[in-house]
Each structure stands twice: as C-alpha cells, then as structure tokens.
Amino acid sequence: MGTLYIVATPIGNLKDITYRAVEILKNVDIIACEDTRVTRKLLSHYGITGKKLVSYHEHIEEKASDKIISLLKEGMDIALVSDAGTPCISDPGYRVVKKAWENSINVVPIPGPFAGAAALSASGLPSDRFIFVGFLPQKEKKKKEEIERLKQIGYTFILYESPLRVLKTLKIIEEIIPDSEVVVGKEITKIHERFIRGNIKDVYRYLDQNKDIIKGEFVIICNPVQSEEFNEDYIIEMAEELYKKGKRIKEISKIISEETGFPKNRIYKLLLKKFNT
C-alpha cells in the first residue's frame, strides 16, 4: 500500500510553503491536483520536474478518487494538492480521503496555508471558539437561513466570498446581525492584501463606496454580538465616570467596549452626541 499525503500549498505568496511539503512533492510517485496547469507552474517554481499528474476536481471527483485508490493499492505514494491552500477545506478531496480510510490506506497531512485561519489570526476578534463555514449558499433565502443559524450559535464565524457577491453577503449580515463586528480580508498573502475592520455597517458602507478595491478572493470574519440589549443610559453612566477622570471619548469607548462587548464604533458615536453638545 502506498501513502496518501494531503499537501497544503501557497494561497498567493509562493514563499509560504514548508520544507516538508516541497520534500514530499519531490519524492511522491504521483500528484493529484485540481488544475494540472496551476500545479505544473507551482512545481516549476520549486524546481520539481518530471512528475506524473492526475486530475482531481469536483466534476470528476467520484471517478478520479477510485483511480487514485487503485494506484495507492499498487504501492504508489500520492500527494493530493488543491490549486491553493489546504486540500479538502472548501476544496475537493474529502471523498478520496474517506475512501483511503475505508481501504486502510495511510493518510498523512502536510499542514500549511489556510486563508481562514490566517485571516482569523489577524482579525482581533474572539478566536477561542469559531466556526469555519467557507462559501455560503448562493441563493439569498438559504444564505439568510445560514446566517441566522450562525447568529444563534454566537461563535465567531469565517466565510469565503467572491468579489461578485461580497457586498450582497455583507448586506445580509448587516440586516440579520446589525451590531456585529467584522473583518474583511482581501487577497491574503498577495501583493494587494488588505484588511478592513469595524462594525458591519461601517465596513459595508466603506466597500460600497470603494468598489474599485473589490477584487480577488475575500475572507469575512464575523463576531455576532450576543450580549444584552444595547443600553444607552447604562453606557452614558459608565462614560460620565470615566469622563470626569479626564479620559478622552475614544479611550472611553474602547474601555466600555472591552467591558460590555458592545461595538466600539457604536459607543463612540453615542458618546460624541452626548459630550459634544
């Protein structure tokens, strides 16, 4: 029996690959990939030549997985890669891995780039418990139902979205979870990588007014605020005590946000009205 290696590859920056991943790609007998053109370009960058490639993508997944299992049974070592990132995570692959287990074939993960985890680590949003969702259903009704479920669970959640639908998805989040804090990451690890952070209303408005930057793949990290009802009187009472101590509105907003879990931007706007009149 051969071994099936699940090899993570760069999501944009070709330097983001492990020594171990390159070594595995050099030494396996066959590489199973989504797009052979993309994978050949990747292999060429690392000086890997003469590798046999077999196609493995969602349209032929069932048939291709049977072929891969057959080759593994013949003793071939095979690396499974996606066009970018970690195979089986919002990408084809789980069927062949499942069949490998069913056939007592050794499966070895070679960890590496994962856009969702990279964005979460840079988001500053709660990460002790989170849900990775990937791409939501395209139909609006099903998308809304999914976001409603995520709101009820209350954990930080991670979405992937295309530039064609990112505004629509953010608008739905705004409608369903209007007080949520979000971070939108675009083109992670690439030259034009960028993160936009804030209240969902502010982030949506910014992107809506700057449509020229809506290019590339997007990651949306959302913290669905599940705290008690936003109590303006209670917040102002807290703020007045801090204001008397000489603290500025921006600093007060940060302190109250950390203590209550309410969005900092919303608190800041409330206090501006209170103390600047």
Give the domain CATH number at 30.
Answer: 3.40.1010.10
The pLDDT value given to residue 76 = 97
DSSP 183-249: EEEESTTSTT-EEEEEEHHHHHHHHHH-GGG--S-EEEEEE---SS---HHHHHHHHHHHHHTT--H
**Poorest-pLDDT segment among 59-68, 147-156, 188-197:** 59-68
The pLDDT value given to residue 177 = 93
CA distance 215 to 175: 24
The pLDDT value given to residue 186 = 97
Asked if residue 121 and residue 101 are part of one domain, the reply reads: no
Q: What is the pLDDT of residues 216-264, one digit of tens each?
A: 999 999 998 755 566 788 888 889 889 888 888 899 998 988 877 777 8
The pLDDT value given to residue 277 = 53
The pLDDT value given to residue 228 = 56
The pLDDT value given to residue 257 = 84
CA distance 15 to 26: 17
Asked if residue 102 and residue 126 are part of one domain, the reply reads: no
The pLDDT value given to residue 269 = 87
Asked if residue 122 and residue 107 are part of one domain, the reply reads: no
Residue at which a domain ends, from 57, 87, 113: 113
Amino acid identity, position 265: N
Q: What is the mean pLDDT of the chain?
A: 92
Asked if residue 206 and residue 245 are part of one domain, the reply reads: no
Tokens 């064609």 belong to 164
Where does 136-193 show beta strands of DSSP type E? 156-161, 181-186
Which secondary-structure segment (H or E) carries 32?
strand 30-33
**Enclosing domain of residue 252:** 232-276
User: What is the pTM assigned to this prediction?
Assistant: 0.78
Q: b/e per residue, 11-42, with b = 16+ CB within 10 A?
A: bbeeebbeeebbebbeebebbbbbeeeebbeb
Name the DSSP class of 165.
T
Q: Who contacts 82 (Cβ-Cβ below 8 Å, separation ≥6)?
A: 9, 33, 34, 91, 92, 93
User: Maximum distance among all alpha carbons in the chain?
Assistant: 79
Asked if residue 189 and residue 206 are part of one domain, the reply reads: yes
Residue 273's pLDDT band (cuts 50, 70, 90) = confident
Asked if residue 187 and residue 131 are part of one domain, the reply reads: yes
Asked if residue 219 and residue 124 are part of one domain, the reply reads: yes
The pLDDT value given to residue 114 = 96
Residue at which a domain ends, from 204, 223, 242: 223
Asked if residue 237 and residue 218 are part of one domain, the reply reads: no
Residue at which a domain ends, from 113, 137, 156: 113
Mean pLDDT of 182-201: 96
Asked if residue 133 and residue 105 are part of one domain, the reply reads: no
Residue 266's pLDDT band (cuts 50, 70, 90) = confident
Residue 14: pLDDT over 90:
yes
Phi, psi of 18 (to 5 degrees): -85, 155
Q: 166-176 vs 140-153: helix axis angle to the nearest 10?
A: 50
Mean pLDDT of 135-157: 93
Q: What is the CATH number of the domain that holds 161?
A: 3.30.950.10
Asked if residue 219 and residue 191 are part of one domain, the reply reads: yes
Asked if residue 144 and residue 127 are part of one domain, the reply reads: yes
Mean pLDDT of 172-198: 95
CA distance 263 to 202: 11
CA distance 127 to 198: 16
Q: Decide if 218 contacts 116 (C-beta within 8 A).
A: no
Q: Decide if 159 contacts 134 (C-beta within 8 A).
A: yes
Mean pLDDT of 179-187: 95
Percent above pLDDT 70 for the chain: 98
Percent above pLDDT 90 for the chain: 74
CA distance 183 to 166: 12
For the chain, the domain total comes to 3
Mean pLDDT of 106-117: 97
CA distance 201 to 135: 21
Asked if residue 85 and residue 68 are part of one domain, the reply reads: yes
Q: What is the pLDDT of residues 76-111, one digit of tens each?
A: 999 999 999 999 998 888 899 999 999 999 999 999
